[in-house]
């Protein structure tokens, strides 16, 4: 690893943080308070040191970090500015005085150019992939710890931006904090079995009769949460809590129990749909669990529809494809519900035993008014039928659009046009007459 210039060793960097990094920032803030001017904190996530540690070892990672330090000192920082490490891959640049956000962002662009140029590790040329978050005194905080926190939060958001530089935004930070806290509250709700089931009806468009329902997990009594939870959010929280298998088992058995009760208590011989991530197929016991649940609740396999999102895993993992084939052999109906599905992915999915495709109309909110969008939907429906897939449109907002979808030969629809998703007892009250 070629590492010209000078910098701190790993021990010296850690010592800087332990001994007085926050104190040094505090002194700059105090000076700015009395003398005027601003202070900028830039958190630079190099995006390379951790990976170098894993590939070449910590000595190479240290050398890369030392080289980046040298570049920043020589090419960007003034004599009154200083650096410190706030993590293996994170470097904090403290710039004072700074005259407003534009000056800070210009400095961040210089940091990006200096940190992002090539380095050599053994015989390999490598590049850092920095993201930079910027927080300013006094605009974004009046103490060192708060400014550092906000600059770090901005650096995480910068990953999604083309320029990979972000200034702290209070509104965005509020949203991020809310999502973080919601995920952890959701973990507890899963552990305490506080989630309930709602059922959204699915209608056959030719007859306008209820033919099934999608079971959705809901979090009652949580004001900031919508009536039904996005499946991806629930499964992410369950995985992080180590409860993925417990959640799926509970979700499946509760949904099938209600489906059985619909038939025996109200004469509703319906199918029930569950949305799972295709990653759940990496769990080898999933087909066995589904087979046992069907026997327990005395349901024909064709009454159960498993909708799979995140289908990219099916292209790369043979065990996931094998799990899908086992479900097909059981007689379970398999549906694709993947809004991120790319056209080229259809070539691979055409070889898999799916029987249904779901189209999310949230992706085409002006379908009724935009002819091009209608032609796209018609083409997708026609393509699905060519592949011998039924089509279910979701998030259908009104009866007029449902009627139009019927004219486009869409098979099924679900959405708020017939009412919201409801608990099992309300579902029986509302739709039992169709088969009673």
pLDDT by residue (tens digit) across 180-204?
656 677 777 777 778 888 999 999 9
**Gap between the Cα atoms of 237 and 224, Å rounded:** 17
Residues linked to residue 308 through DSSP beta bridges, in sequence order: 276, 336
**Gap between the Cα atoms of 203 and 206, Å rounded:** 9
What pLDDT score was predicted for residue 436? Answer: 38
The answer to whether residue 435 scores a pLDDT higher than 70 is no
The bridge status of strand 165-167 relative to strand 196-204 is unpaired
Mean pLDDT to the nearest integer, 219-243 = 68
Q: What is the DSSP letter of 267?
A: -
What pLDDT score was predicted for residue 306? Answer: 93
This model's pTM is above 0.75? no
What pLDDT score was predicted for residue 217? Answer: 86
**Gap between the Cα atoms of 227 and 199, Å rounded:** 11
The answer to whether residue 253 scores a pLDDT higher than 80 is yes
> Phi and psi at residue 321, in whole multiples of 5°?
-65, -40
What pLDDT score was predicted for residue 63? Answer: 86
pLDDT tens for 393-422 read 999 988 989 998 999 999 999 998 888 888
> Comparing 149-153, 246-250, 323-327, 329-333, which segment has the lowest mean pLDDT?
246-250
Mean pLDDT to the nearest integer, 43-56 = 84
User: What is the percent of the chain where pLDDT is above 90?
Assistant: 31
What pLDDT score was predicted for residue 11? Answer: 43
The answer to whether residue 247 scores a pLDDT higher than 90 is no
- All structural domains of the chain, each given as residue ranges with its CATH number in brackets, are 10-168 (3.30.70.270), 180-434 (3.20.20.450)
User: What is the percent of the chain where pLDDT is above 70?
Assistant: 87
- Candidates 275, 347, 285, 358; CA nearest to 314 is 347
Mean pLDDT to the nearest integer, 147-172 = 87
Mean pLDDT to the nearest integer, 108-124 = 82
The answer to whether residue 225 scores a pLDDT higher than 60 is no
> Phi and psi at residue 148, in whole multiples of 5°?
-65, -40
What pLDDT score was predicted for residue 350? Answer: 78
What pLDDT score was predicted for residue 175? Answer: 57
pLDDT tens for 272-311 read 999 988 888 888 889 999 999 999 999 999 999 999 888 8
What pLDDT score was predicted for residue 19? Answer: 44
Token representation of residue 191? 């552990």
pLDDT tens for 336-372 read 888 766 665 667 777 888 999 999 888 776 776 778 8
Average pLDDT, the chain: 83
């Amino acid at each position: 690893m070629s590492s010209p210039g000078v910098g701190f060793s790993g021990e010296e960097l850690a010592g800087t943080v332990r001994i007085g990094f926050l104190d040094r920032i505090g002194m700059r803030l105090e000076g700015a308070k009395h003398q005027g001017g601003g202070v900028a904190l830039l958190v630079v996530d190099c995006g390379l040191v951790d990976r170098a540690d894993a590939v070449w070892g910590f000595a190479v990672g240290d050398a890369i970090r030392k080289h980046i330090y040298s570049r920043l000192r020589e090419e960007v920082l003034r004599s009154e500015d200083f650096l410190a490490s706030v993590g293996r891959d994170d470097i904090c640049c403290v710039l004072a005085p700074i005259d407003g956000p534009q000056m800070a962002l210009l400095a961040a662009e210089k940091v990006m150019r200096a940190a992002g140029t090539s380095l050599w590790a053994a015989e390999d040329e490598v590049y850092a992939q920095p993201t930079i978050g910027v927080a300013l005194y006094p605009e974004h905080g009046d103490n060192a710890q708060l400014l550092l926190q906000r600059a770090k939060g901005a650096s995480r958001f910068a990953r999604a931006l083309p320029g990979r530089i972000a200034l702290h935004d209070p509104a965005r930070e509020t949203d991020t904090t809310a999502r973080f806290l919601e995920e952890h509250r959701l973990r507890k709700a899963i552990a305490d079995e506080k989630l309930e089931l709602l059922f959204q009806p699915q209608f056959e468009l030719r007859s306008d009769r209820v033919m099934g329902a999608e079971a959705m997990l809901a979090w009652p009594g949580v004001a900031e949460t919508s009536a039904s939870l996005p499946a991806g959010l629930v499964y992410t929280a369950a995985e992080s809590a180590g409860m993925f298998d417990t959640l799926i088992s509970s979700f499946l058995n509760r949904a099938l129990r209600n489906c059985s009760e619909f038939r025996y208590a109200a004469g509703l011989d319906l199918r029930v749909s569950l949305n799972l991530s295709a990653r759940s197929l990496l769990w080898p016991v999933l087909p066995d669990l589904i087979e046992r649940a069907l026997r327990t609740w005395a349901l024909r396999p064709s009454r159960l529809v498993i909708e799979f999102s995140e289908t990219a895993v099916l292209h790369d993992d043979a065990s996931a494809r094998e799990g899908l084939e086992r479900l097909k052999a059981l007689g379970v109906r398999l549906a694709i519900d993947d809004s991120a599905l790319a056209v080229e992915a259809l070539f691979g999915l055409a070889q898999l035993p799916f029987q249904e495709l779901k189209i999310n109309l949230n992706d085409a909110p002006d379908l009724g008014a935009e002819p091009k969008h209608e032609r796209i939907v018609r083409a997708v429906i026609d393509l699905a039928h060519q592949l011998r897939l039924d089509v279910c449109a979701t998030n259908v907002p009104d009866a007029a659009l449902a009627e139009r979808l019927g004219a486009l030969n869409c098979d099924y629809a679900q959405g708020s046009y017939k009412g919201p998703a409801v608990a099992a007892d309300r579902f029986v009250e509302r739709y039992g007459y169709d088969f009673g």
